[in-house]
């Protein structure tokens, strides 16, 4: 598929490397093609890391904007996908930190008689006894809760490798660590998840 830009016929399809090169020349159609190629994966990863649709969509949009602004700094144009997902992961981490900070400030500002403060100390009515049979929705909810409680790097490693099926090399690039570190983070995350679900499965 081709599109005419500035009087020339330029490809808007092809390898990431070609699309990045075209985008660096200011060809918006090329960057649009990259967005189309990675938008779904980026939004899914953002959602898995944030567990909130609105936050995930905003982070995804901001990540593509940042990628567009910084595309000339990408050292390996053929590795646009992992580079983009690293931006998504960093922005999701920042969003989670900001969300946690807002929650902490909100709790600290609540008075001793504040109803919301009391609500946080009550047991969750949705919580199930360990011997209860779980359906798919319950397992998914417990899995999300466990992911939320994991350290960020473990959570990202598990989401990218085990859920999104990214190669370990790509996960290492996204996280900025070695492949061996990815293996360890995935192992530790799976162990925590198995521990959390052992009484229900």
Distance CA 170, CA 182 (A): 10
Contact 67, 84 (CB under 8 A): yes
pLDDT at position 5, please?
Answer: 38
pTM of the model: 0.66
| pLDDT tens track, the chain, 201 positions | 444 334 343 445 689 999 999 999 999 999 999 999 999 999 999 998 888 899 999 999 999 999 999 999 999 999 999 999 999 999 998 888 877 666 655 545 554 454 444 344 344 444 444 444 455 677 778 888 888 888 888 988 998 888 888 899 989 988 888 999 999 999 999 998 888 887 766
List, in order of start, the domains of the chain with CATH numbers.
1-122 (1.10.1740.10), 123-201 (1.10.10.10)
Q: For 140, how many CA atoms within 13 A lie in the half-sphere containing its CB?
A: 6
Contact 168, 179 (CB under 8 A): yes
């Amino acid at each position: 598929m081709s599109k005419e830009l500035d009087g020339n016929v330029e490809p808007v399809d092809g390898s990431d490397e070609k699309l990045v090169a075209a985008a660096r020349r200011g060809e918006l159609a090329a960057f649009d093609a990259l967005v189309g190629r990675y938008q779904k994966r980026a939004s899914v990863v953002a959602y898995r890391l944030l567990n909130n649709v609105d936050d995930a969509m905003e982070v995804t949009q901001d990540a593509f904007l940042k990628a567009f602004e910084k595309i000339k700094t990408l050292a390996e144009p053929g590795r646009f996908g992992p580079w983009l997902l690293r931006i998504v992961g960093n922005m999701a981490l920042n969003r989670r930190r900001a969300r946690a900070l807002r929650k902490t400030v909100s709790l600290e500002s609540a008075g001793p008689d504040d109803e919301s403060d009391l609500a946080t100390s009550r047991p969750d009515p949705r919580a199930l006894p360990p011997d209860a049979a779980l359906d798919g929705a319950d397992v998914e909810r417990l899995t999300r809760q466990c992911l939320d409680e994991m350290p960020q790097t473990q959570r990202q490693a598990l989401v990218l490798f085990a859920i999104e099926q990214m190669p370990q090399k790509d996960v290492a690039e996204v996280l900025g660590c070695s492949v061996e570190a990815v293996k360890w983070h995935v192992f530790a995350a799976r162990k925590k998840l198995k521990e959390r679900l052992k009484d229900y499965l």
